[in-house]
Amino acid sequence: MTDFPFKITKTEGRARTGVLSTSRGDIRTPAFMPVGTAGTVKALYTSQVEEAGADILLGNTYHLMLRPGSDRVARLGGLHKFMRWDKPILTDSGGFQVWSLTGLRKMTEEGVSFKSHIDGSSHFLSPERSIEIQADHLGADISMQLDECTNFPATYEEARSSMEMSIRWGQRSRDAFGERETQNLFGIVQGSTFEDLRKQSAEQLREIEFNGYAIGGLAVGEGHDRMIEVISFTEPHLPKDRPRYLMGVGKPIDLVEAVAHGVDMFDCVLPTRSGRHGQAWTWDGPINLKNARFIEDDSPIDETSDCPASRDYSKAYLNHLFKAGEYLAPMLLSWHNTAFFQSLMSRIRLSIEAGEFESLRRELNGKWRKTVEK
Amino acid sequence: MTDFPFKITKTEGRARTGVLSTSRGDIRTPAFMPVGTAGTVKALYTSQVEEAGADILLGNTYHLMLRPGSDRVARLGGLHKFMRWDKPILTDSGGFQVWSLTGLRKMTEEGVSFKSHIDGSSHFLSPERSIEIQADHLGADISMQLDECTNFPATYEEARSSMEMSIRWGQRSRDAFGERETQNLFGIVQGSTFEDLRKQSAEQLREIEFNGYAIGGLAVGEGHDRMIEVISFTEPHLPKDRPRYLMGVGKPIDLVEAVAHGVDMFDCVLPTRSGRHGQAWTWDGPINLKNARFIEDDSPIDETSDCPASRDYSKAYLNHLFKAGEYLAPMLLSWHNTAFFQSLMSRIRLSIEAGEFESLRRELNGKWRKTVEK
């Protein structure tokens, strides 16, 4: 593998803080990656994403390969130039979105055939094709191996068989990726909720050698506590000197607990998606700005925030904008939530540096425990 | 009337450039006012509107009285504070929107009864009530008299009778407005396309005395040439030392021609509305970014512009964003168009100052004549 400096600067229990260096800049960990599904973090300018404190964002291979087409993005100079974001980008493999197309996809050892949700056209994704799209066309700083997201719930046999295919696809992804100067490749641990399968998956991926290791197949209905349990028994089998990435997670309480169990990276559409629906995440928990109790509330969401969306607009105004269906409503609340999630990661990093993470964790658990997914 | 300093700094033919001073700042004329219908210029931050060069924006009485309610805006500190815009605001009287509610409104000498398009609730707008909403509740720097927008086409008798009611409503608006330290009131000239009615309307409004005079009842289907003709025969009857405001206009070619006939102020939803539909206005005329010819066009809309939306994003990216239905598409194009309209006004003002307006007018007519409304 190419060199991928990951320096852990401080630990507290299993929580770690550090810096992941890439040719497009450093990523402070634990890191939350805003999701730019189709080449845009929905309703935000990239300058706002950067000012919010994000060091890296995520792009979706599935969406971009269908529209505008990854070859087109390549001809236009790559995803960074296309969407005007010059910091690091991690792309997913497309596997998860294709897996979600129940009834529209057919999986074989070779790869996945599927029909586009946009126009019904036929496509094929294999480990090799996914690497071509991510690393060659989009120009991702971090590519993900193609994997199969195991159904939940799954029997032990289903989970084992699926995990083993993901290992084989991991090896093929690794072979297709080869040696690259400035780009990186992460493997993905599967194995559903079975401890020995997660261990086996992690160990085999380590042998293949990746720049980082994701924990996949979670946040698919197993609930917060079960998710944290799986992370907890998977983590000891991951190399300490490589970043661990929990895919598609999550709520603020999930981030805090996963960091406590040794996770370094996250991505989730929650900040922007919930923002579009009127939900603002705050230190005291989520509130919904559409609620009638805010109709004449002259206070901002958070007057102490550095983010203009959080600090400068009254809840009454946001309530009005949502009722009137104005663009500015999702614009402001996606911005607020994106900044809030970055502030949370910043507080987490600083607390680990200061040896005060457990204290922060207790405080936030007290406020946010009621938001956990059952 | 209160003092309302309007200093004309230069004229060229009937075109004038100058400065309108208000307690919230100067308005450079000729001025184009972006429209913030429901307390927001759609898909824009007010900082973008200001940076684009706008000195004043327009708020809609009809929309704001229905939602969130003008009394609520008043309790929240007025429209400027509510929407975070501390430069001048002009509000319309609500008359035009109510007039557009064909079948849902009933007009009498006293005022207009109408049903809300939002929830069907009953409302009443009179000259006195409109002033209360605009000047007392919303806190407009410039309020407009309530008028009746004459149907088009209208017979002479219909136009005369309607114009006379607008005069009576103008007097009642003026009486209700009284004397105010820092707020201003504009009258509205009606009379359809009849020269003697326009003259009569202008003369009677001058007797009532307003801070400025709008030309109403245009851009309602009469076409560009007829509109300019009406402006041309109306303008000589308006006082030279007061601003003239052409309501609800218009396309770039309309602005240029109306300035040539002595108009100082404009408002229109065109920049933001057409931006939401993929249309970008440029010095070479309008283009539609949804068009397939832009699918791999790596160039920005205008690389010489100061506006990031015009300068920094490729047409290919904009094309993609519109196809994908992303928020960023209307955000960027509304921003570009708003900046373009302000650039046009700036070029117009500078050209009048330099005695080169006729030359600019010829140049722009050559490019934009094909865009005129027939």
Distance CA B260, CA B231 (A): 10
Q: Is A186 annotated as a binding residue?
A: no
- pLDDT confidence band for A1 (50 / 70 / 90): low
Q: What is the DSSP letter of B371?
A: G
* pLDDT range class, residue A321, cuts 50, 70, 90: very high
- Answer whether residue B373 shows pLDDT above 90: no
Q: B92-111 pLDDT, tens per residue?
A: 999 999 999 888 899 999 99
Residue A252: per-residue pLDDT: 98
* pLDDT value, residue A102: 85
pLDDT, position B102: 85
* Per-residue confidence (pLDDT) for residue A374, from 0 to 100: 85
- By the 8 A CB rule, do B223 and B373 touch? yes
Question: Which pLDDT tens digit goes with each residue over A141-156?
Answer: 999 999 999 999 999 9
Q: Name the residue of chain B whose CA is nearest to A75's CA.
A: B296
Give B317's pLDDT tier (boundaries 50, 70, 90): very high
pTM for the complete prediction?
0.97
Provide, rounded to the nearest whole percent, the portion of chain A with pLDDT above 90.
97
Mean pLDDT of A253-269: 98
- pLDDT confidence band for B257 (50 / 70 / 90): very high
**pLDDT mean over B340-346:** 98
Which of B55, B92, B264, B302 is the catalytic position? B92
Q: How many C-beta atoms surround the C-beta of residue A199 within 10 A? A: 16
Q: Would you say residue A3 has pLDDT above 80?
A: no
Residue B288 neighbours by CB under 8 Å, 6+ apart: B277, B278, B279, B280
Averaged pLDDT for residues B142-146: 98
The continuous run of DSSP H or E covering B213 comes out as strand B212-215
Q: Tell me the one-letter amino acid at A153.
A: P
Q: What is the pLDDT of residue A373?
A: 87
Q: What average pLDDT does the segment A215-244 reach?
A: 97
CA distance B242 to B18: 11
Indicate whether B4 pLDDT > 80: no
Query: Averaged over B295-306, what is the pLDDT?
Result: 98
B92 is in an annotated binding site: yes
Name residue, tokens 């002009």. B90
pLDDT of A235 over the 60 cut: yes
Closest by Cα among B19, B45, B27 to B342: B27
Q: Would the annotation count A96 as a binding residue?
A: yes
What positions of A carry a catalytic annotation? 92, 267
Q: Kindly tell me if the per-residue pLDDT of B2 is higher than 80.
A: no
B313 touches chain A (CB under 8 A): yes
Per residue in B348-366, pLDDT (tens digit) is 999 999 999 999 999 999 9
- Interface probe with B: pick from A82, A327, A335, most Cβ of B within 10 Å: A327
| B39 interfaces chain A, CB cutoff of 8 Å | yes
pLDDT at B166 over 80: yes
Instruction: Examine the pLDDT at A365 and tell me if it is beyond 60.
Output: yes
CB contact under 8 A, B76 and A314: yes
Long-range contacts formed by B78-83: CB under 8 A, 24+ apart: B78/B137, B78/B138, B78/B139, B79/B39, B79/B138, B79/B139, B79/B140, B80/B24, B80/B139, B82/A314, B82/A316, B82/A317, B82/A320, B82/B39, B83/A317, B83/B36, B83/B39, B83/B40, B83/B46, B83/B59
Count chain A–chain B contacts defined by CB atoms under 8 A: 104
Mean pLDDT of chain B: 97
CA–CA separation, B74 and B140 (whole Å)? 11
**B38 reaches A (C-beta below 8 A):** yes
For residue A4, pLDDT beyond 90: no
Kindly determine whether residue A320 and residue B77, on different chains, have CB atoms separated by under 8 Å: no
For B68-80, b/e burial (b = at least 16 CB within 10 A) is bbbebbbebebbb
Beta-carbon contacts of residue A176 (< 8 Å; ≥ 6 apart) = A127, A128, A131, A132
> Which runs of consecutive H residues, i.e. helices, occur in chain B?
46-51, 61-66, 70-75, 79-83, 95-100, 127-131, 156-177, 195-208, 224-234, 252-260, 270-276, 308-311, 315-323, 328-353, 357-368
**Chain B hits for A296, Cβ within 8 Å:** 72, 75-76
Percent of chain A with pLDDT over 70: 99
B190 is an annotated ligand-binding site residue:
yes
pLDDT of residue B245: 98
pLDDT digits (tens, 9 = 90+) for A69-111: 999 999 999 999 999 999 999 999 999 999 998 888 999 999 9
The predicted pLDDT at position B1 comes to 54
Between A33-37, A99-103, A180-184, B357-361, the lowest mean confidence (pLDDT) is in A99-103
CA distance A176 to A145: 10
pLDDT at residue number A198: 98
Distance (Å) from the C-alpha of residue A249 to the closest C-alpha of chain B?
23
Q: What is the pLDDT of residue A254?
A: 98
Kindly state the average pLDDT of the residues B173-177: 98
Looking at the predicted structure, is the pLDDT value of residue A2 above 60? no
Q: Testing the interface with A: which of B320, B326, B335 to mutate, by most A Cβ within 10 A?
A: B320
Please tell me if residue A324 touches chain B, with a CB cutoff of 8 Å: yes
Active-site annotation holds for B298 = no
Domains, in order of start, for chain B = 6-268 (3.20.20.105), 275-367 (no CATH)
B74 touches chain A (CB under 8 A): no
User: Per-residue confidence at B15, pLDDT binned at 50, 70, 90?
Assistant: very high
Residue A326 scores a pLDDT above 90:
yes
